[in-house]
Amino acid sequence: MGPWQLAWRRFRRHRLALASAALLALLTAAAILAPQLQSVLGVDPNAVDLLARLEPPSPAHPLGTDDLGRDVLARLLDGARVSLFVGLTAALASAVIGTFVGLIAGYYGGRFDALLMRTTDTVIALPLLPLLIVLAAVDPAKLGVPEAIARSEYLSLYRVIAIVALVGWTTVARLVRGSTLTVREREFVRAARALGSGPGRIMATHILPNVASPVIVATTLSAGNVILFESVLSFLGLGIQPPIASWGNMLTNAQELIWEAPSLAVYPGLLIFLTVIALNFLGDGLQDALDPRSGADGR
């Protein structure tokens, strides 16, 4: 039986991870199919109807309406698309940067290793949340960004992804460096080097596949943290900006109506909670499955 089959067997015994994977698959499918689901329901997530504000759940609006008469379910589906996209994209971008830095540092060692790891330590030492808030508050127009781009409604989305990716790669970099330091001394790497393979080919073909497991686990766990950061920034008014819906800015809009319509805060808050918990359980399951020394027996 191959290593991936063994990993799948270990993963299947981790019931919480399986349930989390199923929940995340359901949320992802709902986010992808959001336009079709909204069409079936006959609702527009951005359609304002002040005569139908704060309505309770009904056949026309299964989860009711918000303070502007917009359908809450439709906006939750739109928010899922944005929050999951930001979380997964920023986590993947961080993983790519961290993997590159870790491979270079671990393979070459010496001055490259010292320089890159001191840079990593510097980024780790930065207070992350205050830094994200400061960077998110910077006006792109003052940095020379073209006016059309600086005023685009999607700028806030891509800015959050870029900011998180630029400061969130450090964990992956340290994990990959440590694994690379071990793998580069193995016989098959020495044989490839003796046969004339260049550093790039050795890192891509022989080292990277053997350090992929910690990258996968770290990326999964990072996605949950990114969703939390996006929610915090949006809650503070520095993240995803209306009219684009995200779970974070839906919470922001609901804070003034917490006593009048508490469900407006409960729905996005619950989805954030479930998504982050599911990503953490999934990361634990993958860690057990991909590490044969863990002896995963399910929990």
Least confident of 144-153, 161-170, 226-235, 272-281: 144-153
Q: Which amino acid is at 299?
A: R
Tell me which of 97-101, 170-174, 202-206 is least confident: 202-206
Helix (H) or strand (E) holding 132: helix 128-137
d(CA 8, CA 36): 33
Query: What is the pLDDT confidence band of residue 202, given thresholds at 50, 70 and 90?
Result: confident
Residue 207 burial class via C-beta count within 10 angstroms: exposed 0-12, middle 13-18, buried 19 and up: buried
Q: Looking at the chain, how many residues does it have? A: 299
At residue 299, the 3 state secondary structure works out as coil
What does the alpha-carbon distance between residue 3 and residue 85 come to, in Å, rounded to a whole number? 30
* Amino acid, single-letter form, for residue 157: L
Backbone angles phi, psi at 45, to 5 degrees: -65, -20
Is the pLDDT at 263 greater than 70? The verdict is: yes
Please check the confidence at residue 1 and state whether its pLDDT lies above 60: no
pLDDT, averaged across the chain = 82
Instruction: Count how many Cα atoms sit within 13 Å of the Cα of residue 299 in the half-sphere of its side chain.
Output: 13
Of 31-35, 48-52, 93-97, 103-107, least confident by mean pLDDT is 48-52
The reported pLDDT for the residue numbered 29 is 92
Question: Given this model, what pLDDT does residue 293 score?
Answer: 54
Q: What is the pLDDT of residue 25?
A: 93
Lowest pLDDT segment from 21-30, 172-181, 214-223 = 214-223
Residue-range domain boundaries for the chain = 3-43+63-94+136-168+212-294
Tell me the β-bridge partners of 65: 71
pLDDT band at 3 (very low <50, low <70, confident <90, very high): low
Give the mean model confidence (pLDDT) for residues 55-76. 87
pLDDT at 298 over 50: no
Residue 299 is predicted with a pLDDT of 42
Tell me the pLDDT band of 225, cut-offs 50, 70 and 90: confident
SS (H, E, C) 26-88: HHHHHHHCHHHHHHHHCCCCCCCCHHHCCCCCCCCCCCCECCCCCEHHHHHHHHHHHHHHHHH
126-135, 242-251, 262-271: lowest mean pLDDT where?
Answer: 126-135
pLDDT value of residue 96: 92
pLDDT(296) > 50: no
46 pLDDT higher than 90? no
